[in-house]
Amino acid sequence: MTDSVVQQAYAERASEYTAILGTVDDMHELDRNRIGQWARKIKGRIIDAGCGPGHWTDFLHQRGADISGIDVVPEFIESARLRFPDVSFRVSSLRALDEADGSLNGVLAWYSLIHLPPAELPPVLSELARVLSPQGHLLVGFFDGEPAEPLDHAVAPAYYWSVDQMNSLLHDAGFAVIDTEARQDSGSRPHAAISAIAR
């Protein structure tokens, strides 16, 4: 699946998506705590990779992080720039980040990897590892389930990953896993998150 498939699917529903899920207040309190605590220990540049409406980017910017947001959907970037004018946003693909090797200290990939077909996830994880400095931090959020199993996503094709399989993929891409989280909230798909550092 190319970027253009996801780009077109979200472009058609960007306003609707932003209205429903475009503020941090709509997010789970545990996610706010986890993402905030993760960023506090990072000194240096962070990108919110697949930032969507930009709410997490602004959330961390407000807490003093040196962060910018990137997304493949121009409509999300245009909206984010209007909503959060003090934050840097740009259109970019996760497959080829416009960043020098080892130039970042953190990458937030919060539910932005779920649309990658299984065969395309490993090279993207390697790309995230490429732009991180040694000991640079990565935080990934995703739907917990049978690895590579398609899920019925409202906007674009998406996939589950198990914590064990994602751990293995991160290891192969050059990361060392620090900690993992999995939970099942009522009325929601199973959630998982993994914090890792570039080796």
pLDDT in tens, 56-104: 999 999 999 999 999 999 999 999 999 999 999 999 999 999 999 999 9
First to last CA, the chain: 29
Instruction: Say yes or no: domain 3-198 is CATH 3.40.50.150.
Output: yes
Burial of 39 (0-12, 13-18, 19+ CB in 10 A): buried
Query: Is residue 8 pLDDT above 90, yes or no?
Result: no
What's the pLDDT at 152?
84
Confidence of residue 14 (pLDDT cuts 50, 70, 90): low
Confidence of residue 11 (pLDDT cuts 50, 70, 90): low
What's the pLDDT at 5?
72
Task: Give the relative orientation of helices 55-62 and 29-40 as an angle to the nearest 10 degrees.
Answer: 50
* Distance between CA atoms of residues 14 and 178, nearest Å: 34
Specify the 3-state DSSP secondary structure of 166: helix
Cα dist from 99 to 47, 59, 151, whole Å: 10, 22, 31
What's the pLDDT at 22?
63
Confidence of residue 12 (pLDDT cuts 50, 70, 90): low
Query: Is residue 163 pLDDT above 80, yes or no?
Result: yes
Query: Is residue 1 pLDDT above 60, yes or no?
Result: no
pLDDT in tens, 111-151: 999 999 999 999 999 999 999 999 999 999 999 999 999 99
The structure tokens listed for 112 are 């932005």
Query: Is residue 189 pLDDT above 60, yes or no?
Result: yes
pLDDT in tens, 16-67: 766 776 688 889 999 999 999 999 999 999 999 999 999 999 999 999 999 9
* Distance between CA atoms of residues 86 and 52, nearest Å: 16
**DSSP codes joined into one string, the chain:** --HHHHHHHHHTTHHHHHHHH-SGGGS-HHHHHHHHHHHHT--SEEEEET-TTSHHHHHHHHTT-EEEEEES-HHHHHHHHHH-TTSEEEE--TTS-SS-TT-EEEEEEES-STTS-GGGHHHHHHHHHHHEEEEEEEEEEEEBSSTT-EE--SSS-EE-B-HHHHHHHHHHHTEEEEEEEEE--TTS--EEEEEEEE-
The answer to whether 88 and 61 are in contact (CB under 8 A) is no
What's the pLDDT at 154?
74
What's the pLDDT at 6?
73
